[in-house]
Protein backbone atom coordinates (compact mmCIF):
# COMPACT_ATOMS: atom_id res chain seq x y z
CA UNK A 1 0.00 0.00 0.00
CA UNK A 2 1.22 3.45 -0.81
CA UNK A 3 0.22 6.59 1.06
CA UNK A 4 0.92 9.95 -0.51
CA UNK A 5 1.67 12.55 2.13
CA UNK A 6 0.78 16.20 1.87
CA UNK A 7 4.47 16.93 1.31
CA UNK A 8 4.84 14.51 -1.55
CA UNK A 9 6.55 11.92 0.64
CA UNK A 10 5.42 8.33 0.41
CA UNK A 11 5.03 5.80 3.19
CA UNK A 12 4.94 2.10 2.32
CA UNK A 13 3.58 -0.64 4.53
CA UNK A 14 3.83 -4.38 4.27
CA UNK A 15 0.65 -6.36 3.62
CA UNK A 16 0.09 -7.47 7.21
CA UNK A 17 0.22 -3.88 8.44
CA UNK A 18 -2.06 -2.61 5.74
CA UNK A 19 -5.29 -1.16 7.06
CA UNK A 20 -5.37 2.60 6.77
CA UNK A 21 -5.35 4.25 10.16
CA UNK A 22 -3.86 1.25 11.94
CA UNK A 23 -0.81 1.10 9.72
CA UNK A 24 -0.23 4.83 10.03
CA UNK A 25 -0.60 4.45 13.77
CA UNK A 26 1.89 1.60 13.81
CA UNK A 27 4.39 3.53 11.71
CA UNK A 28 3.91 6.58 13.95
CA UNK A 29 4.44 4.48 17.08
CA UNK A 30 7.64 3.00 15.67
CA UNK A 31 9.02 6.43 14.88
CA UNK A 32 8.15 7.80 18.33
CA UNK A 33 9.68 4.78 20.00
CA UNK A 34 12.87 5.06 17.93
CA UNK A 35 13.25 8.69 18.95
CA UNK A 36 12.72 7.88 22.62
CA UNK A 37 14.84 4.72 22.72
CA UNK A 38 17.93 5.49 20.63
CA UNK A 39 16.46 3.45 17.80
CA UNK A 40 18.00 5.54 15.04
CA UNK A 41 20.72 3.57 13.25
CA UNK A 42 22.96 5.00 10.55
CA UNK A 43 24.58 3.01 7.76
CA UNK A 44 27.24 4.39 5.41
CA UNK A 45 27.63 3.82 1.68
CA UNK A 46 30.92 4.81 0.04
CA UNK A 47 31.32 7.13 -2.96
CA UNK A 48 34.37 6.09 -4.95
CA UNK A 49 36.62 8.19 -7.17
CA UNK A 50 36.79 5.98 -10.29
CA UNK A 51 40.24 7.27 -11.25
CA UNK A 52 42.03 6.74 -7.93
CA UNK A 53 39.80 4.09 -6.35
CA UNK A 54 39.71 6.17 -3.17
CA UNK A 55 36.55 6.56 -1.14
CA UNK A 56 36.11 10.34 -1.00
CA UNK A 57 32.72 10.49 0.67
CA UNK A 58 30.05 8.37 2.29
CA UNK A 59 26.29 8.82 2.24
CA UNK A 60 24.71 8.38 5.67
CA UNK A 61 21.45 6.43 5.39
CA UNK A 62 18.98 6.18 8.25
CA UNK A 63 17.32 3.02 9.56
CA UNK A 64 15.08 2.48 12.57
CA UNK A 65 15.77 -0.41 14.89
CA UNK A 66 12.58 -2.32 15.55
CA UNK A 67 11.64 -3.93 18.90
CA UNK A 68 12.91 -7.28 17.57
CA UNK A 69 16.20 -5.72 16.45
CA UNK A 70 15.32 -5.64 12.75
CA UNK A 71 16.29 -2.55 10.75
CA UNK A 72 13.37 -0.73 9.11
CA UNK A 73 13.98 0.97 5.75
CA UNK A 74 13.43 4.72 5.37
CA UNK A 75 11.10 3.98 2.48
CA UNK A 76 8.68 2.75 5.15
CA UNK A 77 8.79 5.73 7.48
CA UNK A 78 10.17 8.91 5.87
CA UNK A 79 6.81 9.91 4.34
CA UNK A 80 4.90 9.74 7.61
CA UNK A 81 7.84 11.23 9.51
CA UNK A 82 7.70 14.24 7.19
CA UNK A 83 3.93 14.54 7.43
CA UNK A 84 4.04 14.50 11.24
CA UNK A 85 7.25 16.58 11.39
CA UNK A 86 8.85 13.79 13.43
CA UNK A 87 11.53 13.89 10.73
CA UNK A 88 12.92 16.85 12.67
CA UNK A 89 13.86 14.96 15.89
CA UNK A 90 14.74 11.87 13.82
CA UNK A 91 16.96 13.98 11.60
CA UNK A 92 18.62 15.61 14.62
CA UNK A 93 19.59 12.19 16.03
CA UNK A 94 20.75 11.10 12.61
CA UNK A 95 22.91 14.20 12.16
CA UNK A 96 24.49 13.79 15.59
CA UNK A 97 25.32 10.12 14.99
CA UNK A 98 26.74 10.78 11.51
CA UNK A 99 28.83 13.76 12.62
CA UNK A 100 30.16 11.87 15.67
CA UNK A 101 31.25 9.14 13.29
CA UNK A 102 32.85 11.68 10.99
CA UNK A 103 34.78 13.03 13.98
CA UNK A 104 36.02 9.53 14.83
CA UNK A 105 37.13 8.89 11.25
CA UNK A 106 38.98 12.21 11.20
CA UNK A 107 40.71 11.29 14.47
CA UNK A 108 41.82 8.07 12.76
CA UNK A 109 43.23 10.08 9.84
CA UNK A 110 40.40 9.29 7.44
CA UNK A 111 39.23 12.57 5.93
CA UNK A 112 36.16 11.83 3.85
CA UNK A 113 33.00 13.88 3.29
CA UNK A 114 29.84 12.88 5.14
CA UNK A 115 26.73 13.30 2.98
CA UNK A 116 23.52 13.68 4.95
CA UNK A 117 20.01 13.63 3.46
CA UNK A 118 17.91 16.58 4.56
CA UNK A 119 14.19 16.50 3.93
CA UNK A 120 12.51 19.77 2.86
CA UNK A 121 10.56 19.68 6.14
CA UNK A 122 13.86 19.76 8.05
CA UNK A 123 15.53 22.34 5.85
CA UNK A 124 12.55 24.71 6.01
CA UNK A 125 12.23 24.43 9.79
CA UNK A 126 13.13 27.73 11.42
CA UNK A 127 15.69 26.09 13.74
CA UNK A 128 17.47 23.98 11.13
CA UNK A 129 20.38 26.25 10.31
CA UNK A 130 21.26 26.92 13.96
CA UNK A 131 20.88 23.23 14.81
CA UNK A 132 23.16 21.95 12.07
CA UNK A 133 25.81 24.58 12.78
CA UNK A 134 25.72 23.71 16.46
CA UNK A 135 26.02 19.99 15.67
CA UNK A 136 29.02 20.59 13.40
CA UNK A 137 30.71 22.69 16.04
CA UNK A 138 29.94 20.20 18.82
CA UNK A 139 31.70 17.34 17.07
CA UNK A 140 34.64 19.49 16.03
CA UNK A 141 34.76 18.43 12.39
CA UNK A 142 35.81 20.62 9.50
CA UNK A 143 32.55 21.92 7.91
CA UNK A 144 34.19 21.26 4.52
CA UNK A 145 33.68 17.56 5.21
CA UNK A 146 29.92 17.99 5.59
CA UNK A 147 27.63 17.73 2.59
CA UNK A 148 23.86 18.14 2.71
CA UNK A 149 21.75 16.29 0.14
CA UNK A 150 18.58 18.16 -0.72
CA UNK A 151 15.94 17.69 -3.39
CA UNK A 152 15.09 19.66 -6.48
CA UNK A 153 11.61 20.31 -5.13
CA UNK A 154 13.10 22.16 -2.15
CA UNK A 155 15.14 24.33 -4.50
CA UNK A 156 12.21 24.94 -6.82
CA UNK A 157 9.36 25.63 -4.45
CA UNK A 158 11.23 27.52 -1.78
CA UNK A 159 13.98 29.27 -3.67
CA UNK A 160 13.79 32.53 -1.76
CA UNK A 161 13.50 31.06 1.70
CA UNK A 162 16.40 28.62 1.28
CA UNK A 163 18.81 30.90 -0.55
CA UNK A 164 20.20 32.74 2.45
CA UNK A 165 20.55 29.58 4.58
CA UNK A 166 22.39 27.87 1.75
CA UNK A 167 24.68 30.84 1.33
CA UNK A 168 25.48 30.81 5.05
CA UNK A 169 26.22 27.08 4.96
CA UNK A 170 28.40 27.54 1.90
CA UNK A 171 30.28 30.41 3.52
CA UNK A 172 31.32 27.97 6.26
CA UNK A 173 32.41 25.37 3.75
CA UNK A 174 29.40 23.02 3.96
CA UNK A 175 28.53 21.59 0.51
CA UNK A 176 25.08 21.29 -1.02
CA UNK A 177 24.24 18.32 -3.20
CA UNK A 178 21.11 17.89 -5.33
CA UNK A 179 19.80 14.36 -4.76
CA UNK A 180 17.98 12.38 -7.44
CA UNK A 181 18.94 15.07 -9.92
CA UNK A 182 16.89 15.00 -13.08
CA UNK A 183 13.82 13.26 -11.68
CA UNK A 184 12.02 16.37 -10.49
CA UNK A 185 10.95 17.85 -13.84
CA UNK A 186 12.19 21.16 -12.59
CA UNK A 187 13.68 24.21 -14.16
CA UNK A 188 17.46 24.37 -14.14
CA UNK A 189 17.54 28.06 -13.34
CA UNK A 190 18.04 27.41 -9.62
CA UNK A 191 21.49 26.07 -10.44
CA UNK A 192 22.54 29.61 -11.21
CA UNK A 193 20.86 31.10 -8.16
CA UNK A 194 21.89 28.70 -5.42
CA UNK A 195 25.31 27.57 -4.22
CA UNK A 196 25.16 23.99 -5.48
CA UNK A 197 28.33 21.85 -5.28
CA UNK A 198 27.24 18.39 -6.38
CA UNK A 199 24.66 16.85 -8.74
CA UNK A 200 23.67 13.30 -7.79
CA UNK A 201 22.63 11.44 -10.90
CA UNK A 202 19.60 9.33 -10.06
CA UNK A 203 19.75 5.56 -10.27
CA UNK A 204 17.03 5.70 -12.93
CA UNK A 205 19.59 7.23 -15.34
CA UNK A 206 22.31 4.75 -14.37
CA UNK A 207 20.12 1.62 -14.74
CA UNK A 208 19.92 1.76 -18.56
CA UNK A 209 23.73 1.60 -18.95
CA UNK A 210 24.09 -1.86 -20.50
CA UNK A 211 26.78 -1.45 -23.10
CA UNK A 212 24.74 0.08 -25.91
CA UNK A 213 26.25 3.49 -26.71
CA UNK A 214 22.80 5.08 -26.95
CA UNK A 215 21.95 4.06 -23.37
CA UNK A 216 23.95 6.80 -21.81
CA UNK A 217 22.32 9.91 -23.20
CA UNK A 218 20.84 11.17 -19.91
CA UNK A 219 23.86 10.30 -17.75
CA UNK A 220 26.15 11.88 -20.31
CA UNK A 221 24.01 15.03 -20.35
CA UNK A 222 24.08 15.43 -16.56
CA UNK A 223 27.82 14.66 -16.37
CA UNK A 224 28.45 17.29 -19.05
CA UNK A 225 26.17 19.80 -17.34
CA UNK A 226 27.98 19.26 -14.02
CA UNK A 227 31.37 19.74 -15.64
CA UNK A 228 30.31 22.86 -17.51
CA UNK A 229 28.96 24.58 -14.39
CA UNK A 230 31.93 23.43 -12.34
CA UNK A 231 30.26 21.07 -9.86
CA UNK A 232 30.93 17.43 -8.99
CA UNK A 233 28.74 14.63 -10.34
CA UNK A 234 27.96 11.51 -8.32
CA UNK A 235 26.25 8.49 -9.90
CA UNK A 236 24.02 6.50 -7.56
CA UNK A 237 22.77 2.94 -8.01
CA UNK A 238 25.92 1.63 -9.75
CA UNK A 239 25.33 -2.12 -9.74
CA UNK A 240 27.68 -3.55 -12.37
CA UNK A 241 31.30 -3.30 -13.40
CA UNK A 242 30.18 -2.30 -16.87
CA UNK A 243 28.22 0.65 -15.49
CA UNK A 244 31.20 1.68 -13.35
CA UNK A 245 33.53 1.63 -16.36
CA UNK A 246 31.09 3.52 -18.52
CA UNK A 247 30.55 6.21 -15.86
CA UNK A 248 34.30 6.54 -15.38
CA UNK A 249 34.70 7.03 -19.14
CA UNK A 250 32.03 9.74 -19.06
CA UNK A 251 34.05 11.58 -16.43
CA UNK A 252 31.55 11.18 -13.57
CA UNK A 253 33.35 12.34 -10.42
CA UNK A 254 32.22 9.70 -7.90
CA UNK A 255 30.41 6.36 -8.06
CA UNK A 256 28.07 4.92 -5.43
CA UNK A 257 26.19 1.63 -5.54
CA UNK A 258 25.89 -2.03 -4.66
CA UNK A 259 28.67 -2.91 -7.14
CA UNK A 260 31.07 -1.40 -4.61
CA UNK A 261 29.18 -1.66 -1.34
CA UNK A 262 25.75 -1.69 0.19
CA UNK A 263 25.19 0.76 3.04
CA UNK A 264 27.20 -0.75 5.95
CA UNK A 265 27.91 -0.07 9.63
CA UNK A 266 30.85 2.30 10.15
CA UNK A 267 33.30 -0.43 11.17
CA UNK A 268 32.70 -2.31 7.90
CA UNK A 269 33.52 0.60 5.60
CA UNK A 270 36.14 -0.15 2.98
CA UNK A 271 38.16 2.93 2.06
CA UNK A 272 39.79 1.85 -1.21
CA UNK A 273 38.60 -0.03 -4.27
CA UNK A 274 40.32 -1.22 -7.39
CA UNK A 275 38.34 -0.55 -10.54
P1 LIG B 1 18.56 8.43 -1.58
O2 LIG B 1 19.08 9.55 -0.78
O3 LIG B 1 18.43 8.63 -3.04
O4 LIG B 1 19.53 7.21 -1.23
C5 LIG B 1 19.90 6.22 -2.13
C6 LIG B 1 19.14 4.95 -1.89
O7 LIG B 1 19.50 4.00 -2.89
C8 LIG B 1 19.45 4.27 -0.56
O9 LIG B 1 18.27 3.61 -0.14
C10 LIG B 1 20.52 3.26 -0.95
O11 LIG B 1 20.61 2.18 -0.06
C12 LIG B 1 19.99 2.83 -2.28
N13 LIG B 1 21.03 2.31 -3.15
C14 LIG B 1 22.33 2.66 -3.19
N15 LIG B 1 23.00 1.98 -4.14
C16 LIG B 1 22.09 1.16 -4.72
C17 LIG B 1 22.18 0.20 -5.78
O18 LIG B 1 23.23 -0.04 -6.37
N19 LIG B 1 21.03 -0.44 -6.11
C20 LIG B 1 19.85 -0.20 -5.47
N21 LIG B 1 18.78 -0.89 -5.85
N22 LIG B 1 19.74 0.71 -4.48
C23 LIG B 1 20.85 1.38 -4.11
P24 LIG B 1 17.73 3.72 1.35
O25 LIG B 1 18.89 3.68 2.30
O26 LIG B 1 16.64 2.72 1.49
O27 LIG B 1 17.14 5.18 1.41
C28 LIG B 1 16.02 5.51 0.63
C29 LIG B 1 15.75 6.99 0.69
O30 LIG B 1 15.35 7.39 2.02
C31 LIG B 1 16.97 7.85 0.38
O32 LIG B 1 17.12 7.95 -1.01
C33 LIG B 1 16.58 9.16 1.03
O34 LIG B 1 15.73 9.89 0.18
C35 LIG B 1 15.78 8.70 2.23
N36 LIG B 1 16.64 8.77 3.43
C37 LIG B 1 17.56 7.88 3.88
N38 LIG B 1 18.14 8.30 5.00
C39 LIG B 1 17.60 9.51 5.28
C40 LIG B 1 17.80 10.50 6.31
O41 LIG B 1 18.63 10.36 7.21
N42 LIG B 1 17.04 11.62 6.26
C43 LIG B 1 16.13 11.84 5.28
N44 LIG B 1 15.42 12.98 5.29
N45 LIG B 1 15.92 10.96 4.27
C46 LIG B 1 16.65 9.81 4.28
MG1 LIG C 1 20.62 10.77 -0.83
MG1 LIG D 1 19.66 9.76 -4.26
MG1 LIG E 1 17.53 8.06 -5.56
Mean pLDDT for the stretch of residues 5-12: 50
Tell me which residue has its CA closest to atom 42 in ligand 1. Answer: 117
Burial 80-109 (b: 16+ CB within 10 A, else e): bbbbbebbbbbbbbbbbbbbbbbbebbeee
DSSP SS3 for 259: coil
Do 55 and 272 contact (CB within 8 A), yes or no?
A: yes
pLDDT tens figures, 178-211: 999 988 777 788 888 889 999 999 999 999 998 8
C-alpha of residue 59 to centroid of ligand 2, in Å? 7
pLDDT tens figures, 101-113: 999 999 999 999 9
pLDDT band for position 249 (cuts 50, 70, 90): very high
**Complex prediction ipTM:** 0.98
CB 258 less than 6 A from any atom of ligand 1 = yes
CA distances from 180 to 2, 166, 195, 215 (A): 20, 19, 17, 18
CB 142 less than 6 A from any atom of ligand 1 = no
User: What is the model's pLDDT at position 10?
Assistant: 52
C-alpha of residue 273 to centroid of ligand 1, in Å? 21
Task: Show the beta-strand stretches assigned E in the chain.
Answer: 2-4, 10-12, 40-48, 55-65, 71-72, 113-117, 146-151, 175-181, 198-201, 232-235, 254-255
Tell me which residue has its CA closest to atom 17 in ligand 1. Answer: 237
- pLDDT > 80? residue 259: yes
C-alpha of residue 194 to centroid of ligand 1, in Å? 24
Q: Please classify residue 271 by burial: count the beta carbons closer than 10 Å to its beta carbon, then call 0-12 exposed, 13-18 middle and 19+ buried.
A: middle
User: What is the model's pLDDT at position 19?
Assistant: 46
- pLDDT > 70? residue 212: yes
Report strand pairing: 146-151 vs 71-72. unpaired
pLDDT tens figures, 115-143: 999 999 999 999 999 999 999 999 999 99
User: What is the model's pLDDT at position 14?
Assistant: 53
- pLDDT > 90? residue 73: yes
How many residues are present in the chain?
275
Do 226 and 188 contact (CB within 8 A), yes or no?
A: no
Amino acid sequence: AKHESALGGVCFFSEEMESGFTSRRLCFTRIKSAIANQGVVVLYQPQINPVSGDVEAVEALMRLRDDDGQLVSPVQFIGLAEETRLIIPLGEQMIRIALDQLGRWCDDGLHIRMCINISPVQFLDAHFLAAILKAIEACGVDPKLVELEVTESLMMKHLDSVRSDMQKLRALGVSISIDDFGTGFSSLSYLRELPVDVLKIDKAFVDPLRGDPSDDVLVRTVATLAKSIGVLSVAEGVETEEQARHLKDLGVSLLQGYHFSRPVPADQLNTRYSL
